[in-house]
Structure 1
Amino acid sequence: MSGFPSIQPAFTVRVIIDPPHAVGSASRTTSLQVVPMTGGTVQSAPGFSPSIDAQFVGTGNDYIHADPDGKHLRLNAHGIANHIQLIYLNYTGVVALGPAEAAVFAGTASDGATPFGNSFTHFTFETGDERYKELETRVFVGQGHFIIETGKPTIVEYTVGQVVKG
């Protein structure tokens, strides 16, 4: 249909995470969990401009609330990546808790990857570097999944696309 936007491949974002910290909440119906982001990468898809091949620096966090029915998680993640200059990224999103995702959060997941299709995000960027400033005015969406390997930290991988004129 004419007028609907399309998605252009933009990035693959891989975030290394530690187990969640259960913070709780005295005023909300669901408890806050803070998931430390301990590393990762942001890498442009072939042909995407501006090209980025960045590493996460320092630490970030994903602040997660479960819906009262326990079927969905609400994400709000913040991190900094370094590619020549620092680039702040934030993503918000929703994870449908299927059995595979629930096992990841319970710490009982088997080796392998959860399927794509249960985690969707909206990415925003901020930077002081004029070469990457246009990222601040674009709309990016992604879908994610978890990668589990015994003895290694959990990875959340997002394929991220730019919303473009259809």
Structure 2
Amino acid sequence: MSEFPSAQPAFTLLVTIDAPLAVGSASRTTSLQVVPMTGGTLKSAEGFTPAIDAEFVGVGNDYIHADPDGKHLRLDAHGVVKTKDEALIYVKYSGVVTLTDAERAIFTGQAGDLSTPFGNSFIHVTFETGDERYKELENRVFVGQGRFIAEKGKPVVVDYRVGQVVHG
């Protein structure tokens, strides 16, 4: 076994987002952008336990700051999913997006039909729940990589593939 960890496939996380709200900031170098999370799903990879099939409920947001040099975005997203068996799970992820021309087109609303490649967006996911069936999620470490999918006339979807960090 390796001394370095690896990732076991855990979830596909699809998040539908709306246009960013330019909140601004009087005290920071870069302005706050709030990206409304308007829907989405969280589904377990085959064989992962606990098996989850859930949809986002209520309103979630991704609070984003761009680095001063404009090359990266810092993500801080919060939302709640409801499983098919009625459990509520708080989902939080933080991460970094490297801005290429494709990601810039997504965030400026000029993407048209475009899917960005995996490899420019990485996240760390945590969970919180009072439901004993899913409580173990709070004790695990999850990381993921994402891409953006834009289609004319439809909301942008962020497609994350999330793995559980395990002993190599």
TM bracket, shorter-chain basis:
over 0.9
**Which residue is equivalent to 1:102?**
104
**Which residue is equivalent to 1:139?**
141
Q: Give the secondary-structure state (helix, strand or coil) at the position aligned to 2:4.
A: coil
Letter in 2 for 1:63: Y
Counterpart CA distance in 1 for 2:8 and 2:20 is: 32
Counterpart CA distance in 2 for 1:19 and 1:155 is: 11
Counterpart CA distance in 2 for 1:116 and 1:21 is: 25
List aligned pairs for 1:61-140, cutoff 5 A. 61-83=61-83, 84-140=86-142
Counterpart CA distance in 2 for 1:164 and 1:2 is: 11
Counterpart CA distance in 2 for 1:148 and 1:60 is: 20
TM-score, normalised via structure 2 length? 0.97
Contact 2:146-2:161 at 8 Å conserved across structures: yes
**Which residue is equivalent to 1:10?**
10
Contact 2:116-2:148 at 8 Å conserved across structures: yes
Q: Which runs of 4+ in 1 moved over 4 A?
A: none
Identity %: 73
- 1:59-81 Cα offsets, whole Å, 9 max, x none, are 10000000000000000000000
Counterpart CA distance in 2 for 1:107 and 1:148 is: 9
Q: Give the secondary-structure state (helix, strand or coil) at the position aligned to 1:107.
A: coil
Q: Give the secondary-structure state (helix, strand or coil) at the position aligned to 2:3.
A: coil
Q: Alpha carbon RMSD of aligned pairs, Å?
A: 0.8
Offset at 1:2? Answer: 2.2
Letter in 2 for 1:19: A
Q: Which moved more, 1:7-16 or 1:105-114?
A: 105-114
Contact 2:2-2:167 at 8 Å conserved across structures: no
List aligned pairs for 1:23-34, cutoff 5 A. 23-34=23-34
- 1:91-143 Cα offsets, whole Å, 9 max, x none, are 00000001100110111113131100000000000000011000000000000
Counterpart CA distance in 1 for 2:117 and 2:159 is: 11
Counterpart CA distance in 1 for 2:167 and 2:7 is: 9
Q: Give the secondary-structure state (helix, strand or coil) at the position aligned to 2:23.
A: strand
Q: Give the secondary-structure state (helix, strand or coil) at the position aligned to 2:41.
A: strand
